[in-house]
Amino acid sequence: MASLNFDNRFIRELPGDPLTVNQTRQVNAAFWSIVTPTPVPHPQLIASSVEVAALLGLTPTDLQQPEWVAALSGNGLLDGMSPFATCYGGHQFGQWAGQLGDGRAISLGELLHNNQRWELQLKGAGPTPYSRRADGRAVLRSSIREFLCSEAMFHLGVPTTHALSLVLTGDAIWRDMFYDGNPKAEPGAIVCRVAPSFIRFGHFQLPAMRGELSQLNQLIDFTIARDFPHLSAEPAEQRRALWFREICTTTATLMVEWTRVGFVHGVMNTDNMSILGLTIDYGPYGWVDNFDLNWTPNTTDAEGLRYCFGRQPAIARWNLQRLAEALATVMTDQDILMQGIDAFDEVFAQEMGNMLAAKLGWQQWQSEDSELVNRLFDLLQQTEVDMTLFFRRLAYLDVTQPDLSLLTEAFYRDDLFVQHQTEFVQWFDDYSARVLAEGVVPEERAARMNQVNPVYVLRNYLAQQAIDAAEQGNYQPIAELLEVLRHPYTEQPGKAAYAQKRPDWARHKPGCSMLSCSS
């Protein structure tokens, strides 16, 4: 095994907590606390990602070595690792929540490989000074969901944190999954997440709210220097403006990407927003089966629908405004911050148009297209049509004589389709005319559509099946599912079962349609 090159800038360059005791507390004027992972009784590596290992210059076989299994389970440290938990705050469901911090995440260090920096972070490795009243642990079901979804998103081309490994701890963890007073013992697990940076909007909000302005200035300069190195060549007076603009535009891109693949994060609090525009903190997330802009997988949000599918872009913008308010305490030229939010609007509108045109097989977005798209979204929503199947099948529609039976498989309710048949026929006629007007060769159109409309996504029930098997001691389905998700845009022989619409039994089953935050 090659030697590892750790370079732990976060704890070297930013102020840390002078206390080293692992006890819940408020940590002022500091961004991190030293914390040692709590050892676990029987660590067992049950899954790993070959691509993420390669990013770090490793192979899955390296990870099976006892010293790596120990590191990935919190039972030991490799040379150069120096574990810490970070301090941040956040707005939760619209309310300022004060200090939150890494309550169950412990970073091991920043590994350099091929001129790239990768922070390794264990999730579920025991309590930290930020654990508040919780145990710092994670259950197997939520760890499988984070492991699989991180990699599914990566292979779909959606910006995300990565997952290197999934370890079973051998410990039992008590969770009240339904919040009904019936806690149950569940297997504990640890995921090792990997990203260039785990800095969140909330890292900036907390010092701003506390009036710790010199620390806030330090964090801004640090983030630009470490995570936005391409901005260091810019004149100092423009650097921060360009930096905030980039946070706004990468976040806009992320919202377009989530819309494209039908991903609903579920808890878009400002502490769950990455400064790099990555999908971060996989909790009660879900994938849209039947197209529904009002759908949220998160039971805690079932009434308010604050974080439902269709509201994610507006919420991202709201979160950026909260970040702008925090930055305004030290970036006194408010115009700069307003220009960043404007850039979010511009980039979002433009990329959303391009993305929709690509999904629908049009060469170029035209402003009149909104009408056709809105009509389609209304129809898909009213008639319960499977989003992934619909767009994938649409590529094969013969627009010279549109035959709707091609799409039958995408419908969940035949009765609703019959009710709306006239509107559908009209829509397909208008759509076909729009495609024909561009005069593109059908095979080329299909090939382009198939690059943006996946066959395989991590449907909620597929993840749940892998979880059910794992809870019975069978980890093979996790590997099998990951294997299919590695090539989401390519139809794979023998894998049709992974590309079907949600079966009826899964419609209301916990874990398949609704998820609690208990994890």
Distance CA 513, CA 380 (A): 18
What mask of x and - would describe binding to Mg ion in positions 277 to 316, judged by CB under 5 A?
Answer: ----x-----------------------------------
**Which phi and psi angles does 399 have, rounded to 5°?**
-75, -10
223 neighbors 199 (Cβ within 8 angstroms): yes
148 neighbors 458 (Cβ within 8 angstroms): yes
Closest contact distance (angstroms) between CB of 281 and Mg ion is: 4
Closest contact distance (angstroms) between CB of 343 and ligand AMP is: 27
287 neighbors 459 (Cβ within 8 angstroms): yes
With 0-12 / 13-18 / 19 or more C-beta atoms within 10 angstroms meaning exposed / middle / buried, residue 438 is: exposed
Beta bridge partners of 112: 5, 117
3-state secondary structure of 68: helix
Interface with Mg ion: number of residues (CB under 5 A): 2
Note if 378 is an active site residue: no
DSSP state, 245?
H
Distance CA 53, CA 2 (A): 13
503 vs 510 by CB, closer to ligand AMP? 510
105 vs 372 by CB, closer to ligand AMP? 105
Region near Mg ion per CB under 5 A, out of 23-31, 68-76, 216-224, 268-276: 268-276
Residues 6+ apart with CB under 8 A from 293: 308, 309, 310, 377, 381
DSSP E strand stretches across 182-234: 184-195
Measured CA to CA in angstroms, residue 1 lies from 74, 126, 158, 250, 254 at distances of 20, 28, 31, 36, 36
134 vs 406 by CB, closer to ligand AMP? 134
121 vs 272 by CB, closer to ligand AMP? 272
Continuous segment of H or E residues that includes residue 320: helix 312-328
146 vs 212 by CB, closer to ligand AMP? 146
Closest contact distance (angstroms) between CB of 73 and ligand AMP is: 17
Q: Which does 136 bind (CB under 5 to 8 A by kind): Mg ion, ligand AMP, none?
A: ligand AMP
Distance CA 245, CA 95 (A): 25
Distance CA 235, CA 497 (A): 55
Region near Mg ion per CB under 5 A, out of 16-24, 271-279, 353-361, 417-425: 271-279
**Which phi and psi angles does 487 have, rounded to 5°?**
-135, 70
Distance CA 35, CA 22 (A): 6
3-state secondary structure of 294: coil
- Nearest position to Mg ion, beta carbon: 281
110 vs 281 by CB, closer to ligand AMP? 281
| Interacting residues with ligand AMP (CB under 6 A) | 100-104, 130-131, 134-137, 267, 272, 281, 283
Q: Does 388 bind Mg ion (CB under 5 A)?
A: no
130 vs 291 by CB, closer to ligand AMP? 130
The single-letter code of the amino acid at 312 is Q
Distance CA 70, CA 122 (A): 12
- Nearest position to ligand AMP, beta carbon: 103
Closest contact distance (angstroms) between CB of 298 and Mg ion is: 13
DSSP 470-509: HHTT--HHHHHHHHHHTSTTS--TT-GGGGSPPPGGGSS-
Region near Mg ion per CB under 5 A, out of 71-79, 267-275, 424-432, 438-446: 267-275
Residues 6+ apart with CB under 8 A from 52: 151, 162, 163, 164, 194
Q: Which does 384 bind (CB under 5 to 8 A by kind): ligand AMP, Mg ion, none?
A: none
> Using CB under 5 A, which of 253, 272, 388, 460 touches Mg ion?
272
Q: Which of 102, 171, 227, 271 is catalytic?
A: 271
Distance CA 472, CA 397 (A): 43
192 vs 478 by CB, closer to Mg ion? 192
User: Which active-site residues does the annotation give?
Assistant: 271
Binding footprint of Mg ion on the chain (CB under 5 A)? 272, 281
